[in-house]
Amino acid sequence: MNTEHTKTPDKASSLKTSIEPVIEIINLKKSFASQEVLVNVSLKLFNGENLVVLGKSGSGKSVLIKCIVGLLQSDGGTINIFDKNVTELNRDELGKLREKIGFLFQSGALYDSMTVKQNLDFPLRRIKKNLSEEERGEKINEVLETVGLADALNKMPSQLSGGMRKRISLARTIVVDPMIMLYDEPTTGLDPVTSDEISLLINEVQKKYKTSSIIITHDIECARNTADRVIMLQDGEVYQEGNLELFEKSDDELIKSFFK
Amino acid sequence: MTSNGIIKLKKINPAIKVKGFATKQSIRLSEKTIAKTQAANNFLTDFSDVILFLLRVVKETFSRDFEFKEFFRQCFHIGYKSLPLISVTGAIIGLVLTIQSRPALVNFGAVTMLPGMVAVSLIREMGPVITALICAGKIGSGMGAELGSMKVTEQIEAMEVSSTNPMRFLVVTRVLAATIMIPILILYADALGILGSWVGANIKGDVSFVLFFSQAFHHIDFMDFLPAVIKSFFFGAVIGLVGCYKGYNAGRGTESVGIAANSAVVLASLLVIILDVIAVQITDMLM
């Protein structure tokens, strides 16, 4: 691991001293058969920050956030979210914890058989059980306005473009007021203009809903637009950690190949 | 392949100096042993996966927060939306059975036995098995493809992170709906089959609707219905379970959706036939 960041005081180090982490990962390991995907990953996500995790395809970025949310079982290490170790939680406890976490999937993962409204109502009626139908409707309209698609309420996912699907998927994620957002390649497959719009939306969500986010990406523009702090993964390990400026000025060949 | 065999053997036990003593025959034998062991291992893994899946379905069925709305939606989807197909096939089975059987019965002067014969064969065997096979094709493949595509497009994972148990929401509702709706479809197919038989009987003869049906039901008793209905529930459960298992455990690529749908139909059809043989043997012993 490159330790350049430890020499340079940055926003991250100031966060470390002032705020408790909402997610703390210690020595996380994950393998598929004989292939080690995550070797020894340790990181912290601090309250209110956008942490961008960069890395080449196959570097273990998506596996990392799937381990965080318990979709994949880690082989070793600790994942503490709000001081609860995800690896030791039972199904019900994990379900409770997931209510505080929003996960934006790479593909959007909208339910094909449901309209946009039903897609948004699905997690809402399960997580916010105390809300009446009218209140749920208001909440759905509010988040659709946030993502700029208030008129898509009764459309089917098949009627939406790639960018619209991402926005609706984001709306479905924030509709339950999560405290942590996990974005898996939020701009992959989108044109540069739509990518920028999604990046701005990520910042807007952070400000409006006071979320702490991990953004998995290999899109440098997305990282530039959203990152408070950056971690680069390489071969399943943390290769570099620091603020964006540190990465932009780095002489390391691998980092330069990303930030050229 | 020989060098591969050496590599595999060295992986199992690096201390073995294979090149030093092994003949070609012993290496081939080792390769075959490894292949057979892997095949057996895969089979046992698959089998244990199926058992675990079944146990999870049973456990989730009796857990709290049953998804009633989705269950009724699936009942509508499996039952009501299958009616046109089941209606046509049910009526045609009865019609064809009558047209094929009539000449032989006429030769023996037993044409009055036609309604009873057709009704008994439809209710005991033809109706349940043919309807179940059609349902395996329509419903089993539909479940395999739907859940498979949901898996590929991360919709199942999205459900899981939305604090929804996908097993309870997707699998339990579908399996239960199939278990309940397929026997109803089978009874409906039986009724339409007898109606089709009456139409068939009137192509070359002249028999009234009331007379035909009274003749048909005269030859049927409760013990013709009961085993058929019981095995229909098993057919429904197997079709639902296999369709959901194949879809839920589909691979990651789009190709796996087709594989899930196809293998769901093949396995469900095969299991329906095997279950039928077992059911017939048990009924035969008990009666």
Q: 């025959």: which residue's tokens? A: B25
Q: Scanning every residue of chain B, which has its alpha carbon at the shortest distance from the alpha carbon of A109?
A: B155
**Distance between CA B100 and CA B125 in Å, rounded?**
17
Two structure tokens written together for A23: 């997610």
Candidate from B150, B158, B163 with C-beta closest to A126 = B163
Region for A109 from its dihedrals, namely left if φ exceeds 0, alpha if ψ lies in -120 to 50, beta otherwise:
left
Co-location of B111 and B237 in the same domain: yes
Is B57 part of a structural domain of the chain? no
Q: Digits of tens for pLDDT over chain B (287 positions)?
A: 456 666 666 666 666 555 555 667 777 888 888 888 888 888 788 788 888 999 999 988 888 788 899 999 999 999 999 999 999 999 999 999 999 999 898 888 888 889 999 999 999 999 999 999 999 999 999 999 999 999 999 999 999 998 889 999 999 999 999 999 999 999 999 999 999 999 999 988 888 999 999 988 888 888 888 999 999 999 999 999 999 999 999 988 888 999 999 999 999 999 999 999 999 999 988 87
Rounded to two decimals, the pTM is: 0.82
Considering the domain architecture, whether residues B37 and B139 belong to the same structural domain is answered as: no
Residues of chain A positioned with their CB less than 8 A from the CB of B153? 107, 109, 112
Torsion of CA B85, B87, B89, B95, to 10 degrees: -160
CB pairs under 8 A between A and B: 50
Q: Structure tokens of A44?
A: 């912290």
- Residue B128 phi, psi (nearest 5): -60, -50
Does B41 share its domain with B72? no
The reply to whether B100 and B38 lie within a common domain is no
> Does residue B18 lie in a domain region?
yes
Sheet holding A35-46, edge to edge: A35-46, A21-32, A76-81, A84-85
Identify whether residues B111 and B142 lie together within a single domain. Answer: yes
Say if residue B166 is in the same domain as residue B266: yes
**Count of domains for chain B:** 2
> For residues A88 and A42, what is the distance between their CA atoms, to the nearest angstrom?
18
In a domain, B53, yes or no: no
Q: Do A105 and B163 touch (CB under 8 A)?
A: no
Scanning every residue of chain B, which has its alpha carbon at the shortest distance from the alpha carbon of A114?
B155
Same domain for B172 and B34, yes or no, is no
Q: Which residues pair with A21 in a beta bridge?
A: A46
Can you give the residue range of the structural domain that contains B269?
Answer: 66-286
Helix%, strand%, coil% for chain B, nearest 5: 85, 0, 15
- Do B19 and B88 lie in one domain? The reply is no
> In angstroms, rounded to a whole number, what is the distance separating the alpha carbons of residues A211 and A51?
11
In a domain, B277, yes or no: yes
Q: Average pLDDT, stretch A157-181?
A: 91
CB pair distance less than 8 Å for B158 and A71:
no
CA distance B150 to chain A (A): 8
| Type of residue at B200 | G
Q: Does some domain include residue B52?
A: no
Q: Which amino acid makes up residue A64?
A: L
Same domain, B72 and B30: no
Residues B56, B69: Cα–Cα separation, whole Å: 21
In a domain, B86, yes or no: yes
Nearest CA in chain B to A91: B165
* B155 to A110: CB separation less than 8 angstroms, yes or no: yes
- B202 and B136 in a single domain? The answer is yes
Are B160 and A126 a contacting pair at CB < 8 A? no
Same domain assignment for residues B268 and B233: yes
Chain B residues touching chain A at CB-CB below 8 Å? 146, 149-150, 153-155, 157-165
Domains identified in chain A and CATH numbers: 4-100+178-259 (3.40.50.300), 113-177 (no CATH)
Is there a domain that residue B61 lies in?
A: no
Min CA distance, B60 vs chain A (Å)? Answer: 12
Residues B121 and B159 both lie in one domain: yes
With H, G, I as helix, E, B as strand and everything else as coil, classify residue B14: coil
Residue B60 in any domain: the answer is no
| Ordered DSSP codes for B26-75 | HHHHHHHHHHHHHHHHHHHHHHHHHHHHHHHHHHHHTSSS--HHHHHHHH
